[in-house]
Amino acid sequence: MSFKTINKSRSRQRILKKILSGSLNSASFILLALAELGKIAVDSFHPKKYAFTALGRKVLGLDDTSISWQDKTLYERLRQLTKCGLVVKDQKKKVYYLSPEGKQLSVEILDYFSAANKKWDGVLRLVIFDIPEQKRAYRDWLRNNLYFFNFKQLQKSVFIGKNPLPESFIQEISNFQLDNFVHLFSIKEAGNKKEILELFGRFED
């Protein structure tokens, strides 16, 4: 499996970056709804006066006043997700469903959301890697994603973070056949823990 094949789109990065902030956006709601319900017609989300639309509206949060996006955003997001290949529209049946890439991303969304919303358990996570120069693209991919997960660089190829990496990301490391070059450690006690925590913009005992 090639790096070009596995490497995800900018749309994926934007969606997952939002997830790591601890919240779900409209694109995430749509992907999760399609993952849960299989195929959805846009008409199933509205109008409100019909009881049969309640489930679709609830799943997508269309009636939740704490969510800023509205029905018109639903059409635009579906169009964007279809354009980037995450959602497929059945023109004949007028329904939407997830592409294989969309199904994979929905799994990642749940995985990332769970990781982002876990309370820190006091354990530090250390990532040490030594990826050969001929695999530089993979090395850059790993480093960029560690920054993405709010890991801090201690040395050129040594990063430390507070939360465990999502399982789907660890699986990607294996898919890239990088297991022999990337090493993950958990540190329960560290003599310089206070100094390390200052890297995250906070001070804890």
Q: What is the mean pLDDT of residues 19-41?
A: 74
Q: What is the pLDDT of residues 74-115, one digit of tens each?
A: 777 888 888 888 889 888 777 888 988 888 888 888 888 777
Domain range holding 129? 124-198
**pLDDT given for residue 157 in this prediction:** 92
Q: Which of 125, 165, 118 minimizes the C-alpha distance to 142?
A: 165
Q: What is the pLDDT of residues 149-171, one digit of tens each?
A: 888 888 889 999 888 888 888 98
Confidence of residue 7 (pLDDT cuts 50, 70, 90): very low
Does the residue 205 lie in any domain?
A: no
Q: Are strands 95-98 and 39-40 parallel, antiparallel or unpaired?
A: antiparallel
The CATH number linked to 156 is: 3.30.70.240
Number of residues that make up the chain: 205
Confidence of residue 178 (pLDDT cuts 50, 70, 90): very high
145 burial type by CB count under 10 A (0-12 exposed, 13-18 middle, 19+ buried): middle
Query: 35 or 13: whose pLDDT is higher?
Result: 35
**pLDDT given for residue 6 in this prediction:** 45
Residues 20 and 80 reside in one and the same domain: yes
Residues 47 and 72 reside in one and the same domain: yes
Residue 124's beta-bridge partner residues?
A: 187
Q: What are phi and psi of 54, to 5 degrees?
A: -60, -45
Does the residue 191 lie in any domain?
A: yes
Q: Which helix (H) or strand (E) holds 3?
A: helix 3-6
**pLDDT given for residue 188 in this prediction:** 78
**pLDDT given for residue 174 in this prediction:** 92
d(CA 22, CA 55) in angstroms, rounded, equals: 24
